[in-house]
Amino acid sequence: MKNSIFIYSDKLLTYRFSEHHPFNQQRLLLTLDLLKKLNAIAPEDIIPPRIATDEELLLNHERSYIEAIKKAGNGMLSADEAESFGVGTEDTPIFKNMHEASAQLVGGTLTAVDYVMQGKAEHALHLGGGLHHGFRGKASGFCIYNDSAVAIQHIRQKYGAKVLYVDTDAHHGDGVQASFYDDDSVCTLSIHETGRYLFPGTGNINEWGQGQGYGYSFNIPLDAFTEDDSFLEAYTTAFKEIAEYFRPDVILTQNGADAHYFDPLTHLSTTMNTYRMIPKLAHEIAHQYCGGKWIAVGGGGYDIWRVVPRAWALIWLEMTGQSTISGSLPKNWIEKWEEKSPVPLIDQWEDPANMYEPIPRRQEIEEKNRQITERALYFVRQQQKQIKKKNGH
Ligand SMILES: [Zn+2]
């Protein structure tokens, strides 16, 4: 068995709305090049993604929607139809062959899942995935097909395993949550910037799930300007307690890197410290509960030069036991990309100490996030109390 695999081929770069759209898969290339220049990845670690079949897409998407996306990619979808399927918007424009490009991203996550579930790899990383806003019958927020939701349905059907989905993108993981809202064999946790001022506006603490799935959907909406310590406190507390409560067979993490201070689309204020700790805990918990079974996907991340390559390289470095890295980035990586970057690159693994002015409401924000976390976990804590009572502790 391989320790870890990295899913990649240039085909993943075909998922591109337009030249100036913020969702830019060049990030994959930048990240992989960084790992190569570090000698942290070998050619045999890299596995090409398969393409998802229609049958697989149907595990989570409506046939009419898949047909519409195919038509859109061939320039055959009317404007009215496009609107009803959530495409052709400013956020999620139509592009040529969008079905094939989107099915390729889903196939990457399915490849990752099959390697891990069949015991061919302990961990798998597919940075092309993580398109958490895709709904069953509607595109939204740069996302067409929801690779994680399809992959979780595939895990359920083919392997019958209980899945814990943990989403640390700055935006609420609404599409994945919706797919499993009434399902008690899939638990979703999303930690994100509050929807008060940020897309998609959902992800309140009281979105617990429904029917059979009640108590299997968790949300921690953090205040704008949240920094490392507070983000990590919420993440660590919630992840640990929910893992103990749910006892998953496999963990799927969505690793959007848009909660960073530099991210142009959001208002959180984390640094590279957060992106070092996020995969570290996921790794630990996967070994504690799931015999190591951990699949990680990408997601948002719109500062593709200064933030995403370092943040995403750290996931691979964590998976492969190389995460103690610090100091300078490889000089040849900086030299290769600095001309292309519109902003000066950061040449260290750590962010500069005074990257931003101190945040005046810091304590208030921390206190508020703490209360939100407590309330979000109320249900978990009640259950745990009852279990303890029953067992006579
Ligand atoms: Zn995001």
pLDDT band at 243 (very low <50, low <70, confident <90, very high): very high
**Does residue 393 surpass a pLDDT of 70?**
no
pLDDT band at 385 (very low <50, low <70, confident <90, very high): confident
Residue with tokens 């062959």, as numbered in its chain: 97
Distance 120 CA to ligand 1 centre (A): 30
Determine the pLDDT at residue 391.
85
For ligand 1, a single-atom ion, the residues with CB < 5 A are 169-171, 256, 258, 300
On whether the CB atoms of residues 295 and 251 are closer than 8 A, the answer is yes
Determine the pLDDT at residue 388.
84
pLDDT in tens, 77-124: 999 999 999 999 999 999 999 999 999 999 999 999 999 999 999 999
**Does residue 1 surpass a pLDDT of 80?**
no
Distance 391 CA to ligand 1 centre (A): 42
Strand ranges inside the chain, DSSP E: 2-7, 46-47, 121-126, 163-167, 186-193, 217-222, 250-254, 294-297
Distance 199 CA to ligand 1 centre (A): 9
On whether the CB atoms of residues 347 and 183 are closer than 8 A, the answer is no
Distance 119 CA to ligand 1 centre (A): 31
Distance 203 CA to ligand 1 centre (A): 13
**Does residue 266 surpass a pLDDT of 90?**
yes
Determine the pLDDT at residue 389.
87
Q: Name the CA dihedral angle for 231, 145, 306, 3, rounded to a multiple of 10 degrees.
A: 80
Structural element, H or E, at residue 276: helix 272-289
Distance 195 CA to ligand 1 centre (A): 12
Determine the pLDDT at residue 2.
80
Distance 300 CA to ligand 1 centre (A): 4
Determine the pLDDT at residue 32.
98
Share of the chain above pLDDT 70, in %: 100
On whether the CB atoms of residues 295 and 113 are closer than 8 A, the answer is yes
pLDDT in tens, 177-211: 999 999 999 999 999 999 999 999 999 999 999 99
**Does residue 165 surpass a pLDDT of 70?**
yes
Tell me what the mean pLDDT of segment 47-54 comes to: 98
Determine the pLDDT at residue 383.
83
Distance 260 CA to ligand 1 centre (A): 11
Distance 261 CA to ligand 1 centre (A): 13
Determine the pLDDT at residue 387.
82
Distance 166 CA to ligand 1 centre (A): 13
Distance 1 CA to ligand 1 centre (A): 33
Distance 388 CA to ligand 1 centre (A): 38
Distance 345 CA to ligand 1 centre (A): 22
Determine the pLDDT at residue 355.
93
Distance 44 CA to ligand 1 centre (A): 31
Q: What is the DSSP letter of 142?
A: T
pLDDT in tens, 10-25: 999 999 999 999 999 9
Distance 170 CA to ligand 1 centre (A): 5
Q: How far is CA 226 from the centre of its chain?
A: 19
**Does residue 41 surpass a pLDDT of 90?**
yes
Distance 311 CA to ligand 1 centre (A): 14
Distance 218 CA to ligand 1 centre (A): 17
Q: What is the mean pLDDT of the chain?
A: 97
Per-position DSSP letters for 328-381, written without gaps between them: BPPHHHHHHHTTT-SSPPP-BSSPPTTSSPPPTTHHHHHHHHHHHHHHHTHHHH
Distance 384 CA to ligand 1 centre (A): 32
Distance 272 CA to ligand 1 centre (A): 16
Distance 346 CA to ligand 1 centre (A): 22
pLDDT in tens, 99-112: 999 999 999 999 99
Torsion angles phi and psi, residue 47, rounded to 5 = -115, 130
Distance 42 CA to ligand 1 centre (A): 30
